[in-house]
Structure 1
């Protein structure tokens, strides 16, 4: 069973930084992700999703390869490449893998304009090590399917300063 986590960040750069950090943890086999998407709410209020995998480009590449192969059979490789790439790109455009795009757009409407959020579809993780690595990165948990204890531990880890047990407060921030 996978868990969904949605964390809001003040900037797109911060959300991307945390996504890279989580992807590095995946390379260490501490977490297994089904998807990791950064959602950005523009100052105009539009929602932009930065997917891990560009399905349109992947579909175009795959379709182009198959179109070329089929085009060679009929002695029309350029035509086959063009038709294959176009149909692959179209199929990739309408393919949704991982977290449902409409769900993410709906949830991201809660973000303030000019901010971003990170959606994580967590298949499994070594909770204590992942939370220790995320300690102090900031962010606000907007939604999660974790149980109450895991959600509270995540909120605490995001709020803590690295190496300290006290939550970061506005008064304690350096001027």
Structure 2
């Protein structure tokens, strides 16, 4: 099963550390990383920085488009204001098509704020409980959205 996960951390560097933990879990066969991205929002910064790790160079452009759309919906479009309402509605519809509803986007947006970070990952064949155990001590919270086969197909077709 393909899973979209977001781990939020209460420090700007927490997601970077968690990314290494996730990579180690993958090397031990606990999970297969399809792709991942890191958002870090340092204290005093007006907006977060994002970094896509390009797990698979061949598919990197498609995943880059997905991450760009997602991060735009979460962090950049909302600051434009009411004038962007129609555009934001269209982005929310696009995200719903791949299994992320408005409530989930709002929850992620509320948790990733100045002074925090988040690790976003699309994974397969993983034991999220065992992987999550490895994040203990990193002061993070796991938000998981399991994608159905149809949502996965649509996600890959749209962004791959």
TM norm structure 1: 0.51
Alignment: residue pair count: 110
TM norm structure 2: 0.55
The secondary structure found in structure 2 opposite 1:100 is helix
Unaligned residue ranges in structure 2 (runs of 5+): 76-108, 148-160
- For 1:4 and 1:35, locate their aligned partners in 2 and report how far apart those are by CA, in whole Å: 10
Are residues 140 and 106 of structure 1, via their aligned partners in 2, closer, same or farther at CA, if it must alter by over 3 Å? farther
Which structure is higher in helix share? 2
Partner in structure 2 of residue 20 of structure 1: 20
Partner in structure 1 of residue 5 of structure 2: 5
- For 1:7 and 1:126, locate their aligned partners in 2 and report how far apart those are by CA, in whole Å: 15
Partner in structure 1 of residue 121 of structure 2: 120
- For 2:126 and 2:12, locate their aligned partners in 1 and report how far apart those are by CA, in whole Å: 25
Shift of 1:103: 0.8
Unaligned residue ranges in structure 1 (runs of 5+): 60-91, 148-175
Are residues 30 and 45 of structure 1, via their aligned partners in 2, closer, same or farther at CA, if it must alter by over 3 Å? same
Is it true that 1:97 corresponds to 2:98 in the alignment? Answer: no
- For 1:133 and 1:31, locate their aligned partners in 2 and report how far apart those are by CA, in whole Å: 12
Q: Which has the larger radius of gyration?
A: 1
